[in-house]
Amino acid sequence: MKRTAFLIIGATAAFAAMATAEITADDVVFDEYGSVAMSLTGVAGDAANGRDLFKNRKLGNCLACHKNTDLSDQAFQGEVGPSLDGVGDRWNEEELRGIVSNPKNTFEDTIMPAFYRTSGFFRTLEKFEGKSILSAQDVEDVIAYLQTLTE
């Protein structure tokens, strides 16, 4: 009993620390090339979770548009965007953070959605209003995963 209580308090404290360190979507600072220098949470990304987010249809669903040989067990891989094989060699962490958070700063008029953006949309379904597709930590996890995709 005591141990559980301690764990819960510990977890809550960690969340509280995270919440204060987390940068809200409206406050993310992009440089002129679309890169984001500062971690969105201050917590290192978890590449294994990022891999799950990448294929999950309700979360990242990156496979909808991008092929990725590392996930070749997944049957349907999209062709709308470039293959992400070796993407960790092409872009550094800050660039990847910018591309995933809001790729419109890197690629003008791209079809790729902004995964960490909460405002500036038109006619968003009520249940998604004011929300980003991924959370700040999800984005950190996805970019940790993308950095493992090297050739």
Partner 1 sequence: MIGSNLLRVASIATIASLAFGTITANAQSLIINEEELMITQAPAAAHLENLDEVFSGWIYRTKETQSLQLDDFDNPGMIFVDQALDEWAKVDGSAGKSCAACHTGGPAEFAGLRTVLPRWDDEAGAIQSMEDYINECRTERMQADAWKWSGTSMTAMTALISLESRGMPVNVVIDGPASDAWEQGKDIYYTRVGQLDMSCANCHENNYDTMIRADHLSQGQTNGFPVYRLKNAKLNSTHARFKGCMKNIRATPYKEGSDEFRALELYVASRGNGLSVEGASVRN
97 neighbors 115 (Cβ within 8 angstroms): no
34 binds ligand HEC (CB under 6 A): no
What span, in angstroms and rounded, lies between the C-alpha atoms of 77 and 67? 5
Nearest to 57 by CA among 116, 133, 137, 149: 133
Return the residues of window 37-66 that contact ligand HEC according to CB under 6 A. 60-62, 64-66
Partner in contact with 71, chosen from ligand HEC, partner 1, none, beta carbon below 5 to 8 Å by kind:
none
Q: Which is nearer to ligand HEC, 28 or 142 (CB)?
A: 142
Return the residues of window 113-142 that contact ligand HEC according to CB under 6 A. 113, 115, 142
Q: Binding residue for partner 1 (CB under 8 A) from 1, 5, 72, 125?
A: 125
Determine the Cα angle at 137 with ends 134 and 138, to 5°: 40
Give least dist CB 20 to ligand HEC, A.
25
Largest CA distance in the chain: 55
99 binds ligand HEC (CB under 6 A): yes
Nearest to 149 by CA among 86, 74, 55, 81: 86
Site of interaction with ligand HEC (CB under 6 A): 60-62, 64-66, 80-82, 84, 87, 90-91, 96, 99-100, 107, 110-113, 115, 142, 146
